[in-house]
């Protein structure tokens, strides 16, 4: 879609008409493709509302005849979110008071309910754990999520329990630590070693054109481009040669901004994707085949991106005291790093 065509924000689905769609009404074809999620009447309403685009421009006529090979983008309506319910899910609590709670989130735990994950999330666990100690965010008794970690990223995460804590922490994260009140450090196990052992990746991020669930480095002239800055330091190199030709490296990443998938995209952008990252490091999967056992089997079986949020520091929203929390990498990542170190 052209950069000048403004789209409403939302979840988009891309479809290409095949030969069987030739000559069909647009609403009929879309209703067939999107069944059972959307009825024909709902599809017609979406078309008339400008939610269906052809070559970057909205198509407003449901009767329009489809031609084979045409590429359509459809903004799908957001499903109505059910009210999160309390669930007795174990939590690794690093700190808690009346205003906030700090969690060491395990890999595999989704932070907030959403499509495909309405239950079993950190929010469900916190509602159960905190109970009446939640004084309300926006008038509702619920935990205030001020930042997130990907489902398969482990590490330190802070959640507000009161409205005033939510406002103060949200401002700190929106400021990205420029005022000096926020510090975040991650450890990432990556393929190869960056040519410079310390560096700054300053590359704007936007939605990937081929898959809107992914992020990509984009031109800063694009409408959806968001500034993204990652500072990295190589902590350790692994392999027979302890130089830029090393097999892998343990890298510390510190965030100046906090974009979705920022570290994963930035490290892949400079040619060193995270080990285990099936979204941004697929091209490197064959590298595992050249590793000796048992490392080859460990890498092939590693179920997630090798990323851990090790450090989080912030100013307490009420006491103004600087709070600093660290959590060591979980066992699966520690074992993987140790096996690389034995090369």
Any idea which residues carry the catalytic annotation?
150
Residues facing residue 12 across a β-bridge = 75
CB-CB neighbours of 327 under 10 Å? 20
CA nearest to 251, candidates 326, 306, 332: 306
| Separation between Cα atoms, residue 296 and residue 92, nearest integer Å | 31
Tokens 């489809």 belong to residue: 66
CB 223 within 8 A of CB 229: no
CA nearest to 281, candidates 297, 264, 301: 264
* Secondary structure, 3-state, the chain: CCCCCCCCCCEEEEEECCHHHCCCEHHHHHHHHHCCCCCHHHHHHHHHCCCEEECCEECCCCCCECCCCCEEEEEECCCCCCCCCCCCCCCCEEEECCCEEEEEECCCCCCCCECCECCCCHHHHHHHHHHHHCCEECCECCCEECCCCCCCCEEEEEEECEHHHHHHHHHHHHCCCCCCCEEEEEEEEEECCCCCCEEEEECCEEECCCCCCCEEECCCCCCCCECCEEEEEEEEEECCCCCCCCCEEEEEEEECCCCCCHHHHHHHHCCCCECCCCCCCHHHHHHHHHCCCCHHHHHHHCCCCCEEEEEEEEECCCCCCEEEEECCCCHHHHHHHHHHHCC
């Amino acid at each position: 879609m052209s950069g000048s065509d403004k789209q409403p924000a939302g979840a988009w689905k891309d479809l290409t008409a095949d030969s069987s769609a030739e000559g069909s009404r647009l609403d009929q074809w879309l209703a067939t493709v999107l069944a059972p999620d959307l009825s024909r009447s709902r599809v017609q309403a979406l078309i008339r509302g400008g939610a269906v685009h052809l070559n970057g421009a909205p198509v407003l006529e449901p009767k329009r005849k489809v031609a084979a090979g045409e590429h359509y983008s459809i903004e799908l309506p957001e499903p109505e979110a059910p009210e999160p319910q309390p669930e007795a899910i174990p939590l690794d609590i690093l700190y808690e008071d009346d205003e906030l709670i700090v969690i060491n989130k395990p890999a595999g735990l989704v932070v907030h309910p959403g499509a495909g994950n309405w239950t079993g999330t950190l929010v469900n666990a916190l509602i159960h754990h905190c109970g009446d100690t939640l004084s309300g965010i926006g008038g509702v008794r619920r935990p205030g999520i001020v930042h997130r970690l990907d489902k398969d990223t482990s590490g330190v995460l802070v959640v507000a329990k009161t409205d005033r804590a939510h406002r103060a922490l949200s401002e700190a994260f929106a400021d990205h630590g420029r005022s000096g009140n926020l510090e975040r450090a991650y450890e990432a196990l990556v393929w190869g070693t960056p040519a410079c052992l310390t560096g700054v990746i300053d590359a704007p991020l936007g939605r990937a054109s081929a898959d809107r669930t992914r992020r990509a480095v984009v031109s800063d002239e694009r409408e959806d481009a968001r500034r993204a800055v990652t500072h990295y330091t190589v902590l350790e190199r692994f392999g027979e040669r302890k130089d830029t030709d090393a097999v892998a490296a343990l890298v510390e990443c510190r965030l100046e901004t906090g974009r979705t998938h920022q570290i994963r995209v930035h490290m892949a952008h400079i040619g060193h994707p995270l080990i285990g990252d099936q979204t941004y490091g697929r091209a490197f999967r064959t590298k595992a085949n050249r590793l000796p056992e048992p490392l080859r089997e460990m890498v092939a079986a590693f179920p997630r991106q090798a990323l851990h949020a090790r450090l989080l520091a912030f100013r307490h929203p009420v006491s103004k005291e600087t709070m600093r929390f660290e959590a060591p990498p979980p066992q699966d990542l520690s074992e993987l790093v140790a096996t690389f170190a034995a090369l």
